[in-house]
Amino acid sequence: MLLCFTALALSACYASNRLLLDPDAAVRPLEDGVYERADAEHQRIRITRDPDGWYSVEDFNANGTIGQTHRALFNDLPLGELKAYAVAEEAPDGWVYAVVVQSNERVYLATPDCADSLDASVAVDHGGVQADDDAMTHNCLFKDRDALIAALSAYAGQAEFGAPYLRK
């Protein structure tokens, strides 16, 4: 969901048919700029704060061209003192979600994968429903905000965030 953020649109994820995050509670913890994943030579995105509380997230290709643009909405995620956020991105059939954790200048992203039994069980334990549309689509669908926030909070405790993104 920075995997680049575009990874949010992958098929195995926490999803909903309508936006479950609150645009009126949008937070914008990230500064405008190009973010590069610390362990990937050319994995970069450009993030721009939009006036409406959303972000525009653009794939930033290695040759300097701009790829696909996505809109992302951040809401605070209640994880104690940790600066954590639930992130929504519009997908062709609805919305997909991820968790972003910010630590100083480092930004970590984890995207739940409902093809993974642990991520799927976290979703189901918190009100999500597994909805395998076909062999390639393993979504966990949510219908209400409280269930989604509870699942993302629980998921964050066992997620593998990988290398951070750093603003260049």
pLDDT (tens digit, 9 = 90+) per residue, 15-34? 999 999 999 999 999 999 98
Of 37 and 9, more confident: 37
At a CB cut-off of 8 Å and minimum separation 6, what does 54 contact?
A: 23, 26, 71, 72, 73
pLDDT of 9 reads 42
pLDDT for residue 138: 77
CA 156 to chain centre: 11
- Could you tell me if 74 and 84 are in contact, meaning their C-beta atoms sit under 8 angstroms apart? no
More confident residue, 37 or 5: 37
Per DSSP (E only), the strands in the chain are 14-16, 33-37, 44-49, 55-60, 66-76, 83-91, 94-103, 106-110, 129-134, 137-141, 165-167
* HSE (side-chain half, CA atoms, 13 Å) at 115: 10
pLDDT-based confidence at 69, cuts 50/70/90? confident
pLDDT of residue 65: 74
Mean model confidence pLDDT for the chain: 86
Tokens of 34: 């190009």
What confidence tens digit (pLDDT) does each residue in 102-148 have?
998 899 999 999 989 999 999 999 999 988 655 556 789 999 999 99
Region at 9 (left for phi over 0; alpha for psi -120 to 50; beta for the rest): alpha
pTM score above 0.85: yes
Question: If you average pLDDT over residues 148-156, what whole number do you get?
Answer: 96
CA distance 124 to 147: 9
User: Above 90 in pLDDT, residue 80?
Assistant: no
